Amino acid sequence: MEKKHEIPRYSTAMTEPQTTPELPKSADPAHLTDVLRRAGVLEKGRVASVTVESSTPTILSHIYRLRLSHDAVADGAPASLILKTAPVGRPPGPWKGGQREVAFYRDIASASPSGIVPRCFDAHWDDASEAWHLLLEDLTDTHAIPQPWPLPPTLAECEGIVRTRARFHAAWWDDPRLGVSVGLWQDSATDEQSAERLAAQVQRFAEAIGDRLSGGRREFYARLVEQVPRLGARYRSHRHMTIVHGDAHVWNSFLPRNGDPDGIRLFDWDAWRPDTATDDLAYMMALHWHPDLRRQRERHLLDVYHAELMARDVRGYDRRALQDDYRLSALWATTIPIWQHAAGIPPVIWWHHLDRIHLAIDDLGCRELLG
C-alpha cells in the first residue's frame, strides 16, 4: 500500500513576500461583502475597497494579504484577510493543487473543534477551470511560524504542536464518516497499483542518483516493495484511524505571539487523508530532524501526544500501540524522498530527508518490520 505523501509546500519558510498592486478577482469588494455577510461578521455596511498588502508566491499556491476598507462602522468585521489561490499563470495539470484544501475547509474544518485551524470564510473549487481560492482569517499580527526554516522550534513549542495535533486527531478518531463521506480508503486494486508505481519510482530514483544511493539502501527499497502488501495490513484494518495532515512539518503551524499553548493553528491542508495518526508524527520528527535532536525529543513528544489522546477520550490505544504505529509510519516515510524526487521537488529537500529518515529507522529498529 502506497502512503500518499503529497508534494510538500514549505510555503512560509522558503519564499519571500512580494508587494504587488494586482487584485485577484476573488478579492473583489462586492464578493468579499457577500462572503463576510454569509459568515455573520459583517452586519452593516460593505467592503468599500481592497488593497493587496503583500503577495507571496509558493510552489503550488499564491498567498495574498488583503487590507479591507469598510464604508461604515463594521464592528467585528475583519480589517484584513488572507487569500490563497492557484499560482499565477500555472496551467491545469495532473496535480490538482488546492482541491483537497478547499474540500478540507468546506467539509472538515467546519465539523472540527474550533481553534485548531484558521477560520475560513470562503472555499471555492471549479472543476472545469481548476481555479480555486480560500479566504482565511489573517493571523499575521497574532501568530507566527515557530522559527525560520530549517530551524526547529523549542521543546515547549514542539509540545504545543503535538498536543494540538492530538486534539485534532482525537476529534476524528475512528469517526464512522472516514472513508465514506470524508476521504476515501484505498482498495486492493489501488494497493496493487501503488506497489507497481513505487517499484517504478524507486528504479528511476536509483538510476537518477547512481552510486550516491548505496547498495544497502537499494536492497532496502527492493525488500520494501516486496513487502508492501503485508505492511499494508495495518492500514486495511481501518481501526484507530483519523484524518492526518499529510505535510505535518513544524513550519505548517502558527504559534501565538503571546505564547498561549492552546492557541496554535495548523495550516496548509492540501494533503489530508484518512490514515494512521503517527504518519504526521513521523513526518514531523523522523523525516525532518537530525539524529541528535530527534533522540533528545522523540520519545518524550510521543508521550506528550499519547497523554493528550487519552485526555481527549481516545480508548483502546495504549502507548505500545502508538510506538508500533510510529515505527511503521517511519518505515513508510522512507518512500517520501522517492515521491518528492518524482514530483520534481528540489534535491535540497529530498536529499537531506533521505539520510535523516534512514538514520531514524535504524534507531527505531524499523528494518525488522520487513521480515
198 and 330 in a single domain? The answer is: yes
Of 142, 158, 188, the last residue of a domain is 142
pLDDT of residue 232: 94
208 and 127 in a single domain? The answer is: no
Of 142, 172, 188, the last residue of a domain is 142
Whether 183 maps to a domain, the answer reads yes
* Number of domains, the chain: 2
- φ/ψ of residue 108, rounded to 5: -105, -50
Whether 6 maps to a domain, the answer reads no
Whether 4 maps to a domain, the answer reads no
Q: Rounded to an integer, what distance in angstroms lies between the CA atom of residue 270 and that of residue 265? A: 15
Q: Which CATH number characterizes residue 82's domain?
A: 3.30.200
Range of the domain at 120: 11-142
Whether 93 maps to a domain, the answer reads yes
229 and 325 in a single domain? The answer is: yes
228 and 283 in a single domain? The answer is: yes
Q: Which CATH number characterizes residue 358's domain?
A: 3.90.1200.10
Q: Rounded to an integer, what distance in angstroms lies between the CA atom of residue 120 and that of residue 133? A: 11
Quote the cell numbers at residue 146.
Answer: 515557530
Name the one residue in this structure whose C-alpha cell is 529530498: 350
Q: Nearest-CA neighbor of 122 among 25, 54, 46?
A: 25
Summarised one tens digit per residue, pLDDT across range 10-26 is 343 334 444 444 678 89
Whether 118 maps to a domain, the answer reads yes
Of 109, 142, 175, the last residue of a domain is 142
Q: For the chain, which residues score pLDDT lower than 70?
A: 1-22, 90-95
Whether 76 maps to a domain, the answer reads yes
216 and 240 in a single domain? The answer is: yes
Summarised one tens digit per residue, pLDDT across range 85-134 is 998 776 655 567 899 999 999 999 999 999 999 999 999 999 998 899 99
Please confirm whether the linkage preceding 150 is cis (ω < 30° from 0).
yes
User: Helices (DSSP H) in the chain: which residue ranges?
Assistant: 11-14, 29-38, 99-103, 155-171, 188-209, 215-231, 233-236, 278-284, 291-311, 319-333, 336-342, 347-364
322 and 201 in a single domain? The answer is: yes
Report yes or no on whether pTM surpasses 0.75.
yes
Q: Rounded to an integer, what distance in angstroms lies between the CA atom of residue 242 and that of residue 277? A: 6
Q: Which residues contact 145 (CB under 8 A, 6 or more apart)?
A: 12, 13, 251, 253, 254, 255
Name the one residue in this structure whose C-alpha cell is 509540545: 159
103 and 239 in a single domain? The answer is: no
pLDDT of residue 23: 77
107 and 164 in a single domain? The answer is: no
pLDDT of residue 20: 46
Q: Which residues contact 226 (CB under 8 A, 6 or more apart)?
A: none
Whether 3 maps to a domain, the answer reads no
Whether 150 maps to a domain, the answer reads yes
pLDDT of residue 76: 79
> Bridge-partner residues for 69, per DSSP?
49
Q: Rounded to an integer, what distance in angstroms lies between the CA atom of residue 10 and that of residue 8? A: 6
pLDDT of residue 92: 58
Percent helix / strand / coil, the chain, rounded to 5 = 45, 15, 40
188 and 326 in a single domain? The answer is: yes
175 and 56 in a single domain? The answer is: no
203 and 298 in a single domain? The answer is: yes
234 and 129 in a single domain? The answer is: no
Query: What distance separates the 2 farthest-apart alpha carbons in the chain?
Result: 69
CB 283 within 8 A of CB 332: no
pLDDT of residue 25: 86
pLDDT of residue 190: 80
Q: Rounded to an integer, what distance in angstroms lies between the CA atom of residue 286 and that of residue 128? A: 39
- φ/ψ of residue 9, rounded to 5: -95, -50
